[in-house]
Amino acid sequence: MKDEMSSMVSAIKEAYDRGEEDEALEPIVAVDRDGQPFGRIQQGDSVIFYDIRGEREVEITESLVKNNFSQFPIAEELDLNYVTMIEYSSSLDVKVAFPPEERIANTFVEVVTQAGLRLLKIAESEKAVHVGFFLNGKTETIFSGEERTVVPSPHGIDNYALTPEMSAGHVTEEIFQNLEKSAYDVIIANLCNVDVIGHIEDRHAVLKAIESVDTELGRIAEFCQENEITLVITADHGTVEEWYYPDGKINTGHTKNLVPFIISDDSLLLQKELKMKNSGELSDVAPTLLNLLNIAQPEEMSGQCLIQGELGSQAKNRRLLLLILDGWGKREEEYGNLITEAKTPHFDKLWSGFPHALLKASGEAVGMPPGTVGNSEAGHLHIGAGRRILLDRVRIDRAIEDRTFFQNEAFLWAVEKAKNAGKSLHLLGIVSHYSSHGTIDHLFALLRLAKEKGLKHVYIHALIGRRGEKPESGAVYIGKVEDKCRLIALGRVVTVMGRFWALDREENWDRIKKAYRALIFGEGKTVNVN
Tens-digit pLDDT profile for residues 371-392: 989 999 999 999 999 999 988 8
Residue 2 scores a pLDDT above 70: no
Residue 174 reports pLDDT greater than 90: yes
Question: Which of 322, 314, 308 is CA-nearest to residue 276?
Answer: 308
Q: What angle do CA 141, 147, 151 make, to 5 degrees?
A: 110
Q: Rounded distance, CA 378 to CA 240, Å?
A: 18
Say whether pLDDT at 194 is over 70: yes
Q: What are phi and psi of 487, to 5 degrees?
A: -65, -40
196-236 pLDDT, tens digit each = 999 888 999 999 999 999 999 999 999 999 999 999 999 99
Residues of the chain with CATH 3.40.1450: 2-99+394-528
97 close to 88: Cβ distance less than 8 angstroms: no
- pLDDT tens sequence across 115-169: 999 999 999 999 999 999 999 998 889 999 999 999 999 987 778 999 999 999 9
Tell me what the mean pLDDT of segment 87-93 comes to: 91
Nearest to 319 by CA among 231, 447, 207: 231
Residue 439 pLDDT level (bands cut at 50, 70, 90):
confident
Q: Region 507-526: what's the mean pLDDT?
A: 96
Percent of the chain with pLDDT over 90: 77
Average pLDDT over residues 259-269: 89
The pLDDT of residue 50 is 96
Q: What is the pLDDT of residue 521?
A: 97
Q: Looking at domain 108-388, which of 3.40.720.10, 3.20.190.10, 3.40.50.1820, 3.30.70.270 is its CATH number?
A: 3.40.720.10
| Beta-carbon contacts of residue 296 (< 8 Å; ≥ 6 apart) | 290
Alpha carbon separation from 229 to 121, 189, 349 (Å, rounded): 16, 14, 18
Task: Check if the beta carbon of residue 60 is closer than 8 Å to that of residue 96.
Answer: no
pLDDT at 4 over 60: no
Tell me the average pLDDT of the chain: 92
pLDDT tens readout for residues 320-347: 999 999 999 999 999 999 999 999 999 9
> Nearest 5°: phi and psi at 312?
60, -135
Q: Which of 262, 367, 251, 413 is nearest to 325 (CA)?
A: 262
SS3 8: helix
Q: Given a cut of 70, is residue 468 above it in pLDDT?
A: no
Q: Where does residue 419 rank: exposed (0-12), middle (13-18), buried (19+ CB within 10 A)?
A: middle
In angstroms and rounded to an integer, the radius of gyration of the C-alpha atoms of the chain is 24
Per-residue pLDDT at 427: 98
- The sign one gets for the Cα dihedral 69, 74, 79, 82 is negative
Q: Are 336 and 244 in contact (CB under 8 A)?
A: yes
- Render pLDDT for 470-480 as a digit per residue (tens, 0 to 9): 778 889 999 99
CATH 3.40.720.10 occupies which residues in the chain?
108-388
At 472 the pLDDT is 81
CATH topology of domain 2-99+394-528: 3.40.1450
